[in-house]
Copies of this chain bind each other. A is one copy, B any other.
Amino acid sequence: MKRGNLIVLSGPSGVGKGTVLRRLLKDYKDIEYSISATTRPGRKGEIHGKDYFFLSEEEFFQMVDNNQFIEWAKVHNNYYGTPREYVEKTLQDGRDIILEIDIQGARKVRETYPEAVYVFLLPPSFSELEKRLNKRGTEDEKTKELRLKNAREELKELVNYDYQIINEDLEEAVEQLKAIIVAERCRVKK
């Protein structure tokens, strides 16, 4: 059985990773989605066990102690982690799985899965990113500024990625992500 590909979708906070991914998964059924665990409170509309596993800090660190995360990290004062078992089982079954993750997290995933496919989602520009963070309206001024500063830092990571997608037009971004997944299935493994 040919092992599946792990696709890592990352990029600065607020760039639209979640939106692109949800749009992809709506029509495209040839890939599984790795659900992250987090201690941050759910946003409006987010569903436990679908968007995230929303855990208490106690539950979260129980999983850390049992080595049940591929990676975990503290981001913006909350903990995020990628449960190991589902990712590994899916890849072994020969199915692709996609992981939406912040850049710190992607860096750690690379330690375990250097062969994964790393996709960096870019904002059309930084003023656009600022607009989107404002529109989301869930962050206070200080948090927004911190996120923008981080985004500028994080852009330096692009060189470590295999692909970049500029999230200017949603449909086009989704089309490109889908093309990357299909193309990588055709890749000759060396």
Instruction: Mark each residue of chain A from 145 to 178: 1 if its CB lies under 8 Å from any CB of chain B, else 0.
Output: 0000000000000110111110000000001101
> How far is B164's CA from A37's CA once the two chains are assembled, in angstroms?
36
**What chain B residues lie within 8 Å of A185 (beta carbons)?**
176
- CB of A188 within 8 A of CB of B176, answer no
Contact B164 A188 (CB under 8 A): yes
Chain B residues whose CB sits within 8 angstroms of the CB of A163 once the complex forms: 183, 186-188
Q: How far is the CB of A57 from chain B (nearest CB, A)?
A: 36
Tell me, yes or no, whether A190 is within 8 Å of chain B by CB. yes
**CA separation between A159 and B161, bound complex, in Å?**
23
Question: Out of B120, B182, B190, which one reaches A159, CB within 8 Å?
Answer: B190
* Chain B residue nearest in CB terms to A183: B183
List, sorted by A's number, 30 A–B pairs whose CB atoms are closer than 8 Å. A119-B186, A120-B188, A158-B188, A159-B188, A159-B190, A162-B187, A162-B188, A163-B183, A163-B186, A163-B187, A163-B188, A164-B186, A164-B187, A164-B188, A165-B186, A175-B182, A176-B183, A176-B185, A176-B186, A178-B179, A179-B179, A179-B180, A179-B182, A179-B183, A179-B186, A180-B182, A180-B183, A180-B186, A182-B183, A183-B183
- In the A-B complex, the 8 residue pairs with the smallest Cβ-Cβ separation, listed nearest first, are A179-B182, A183-B183, A179-B179, A163-B186, A180-B183, A179-B183, A161-B188, A164-B188
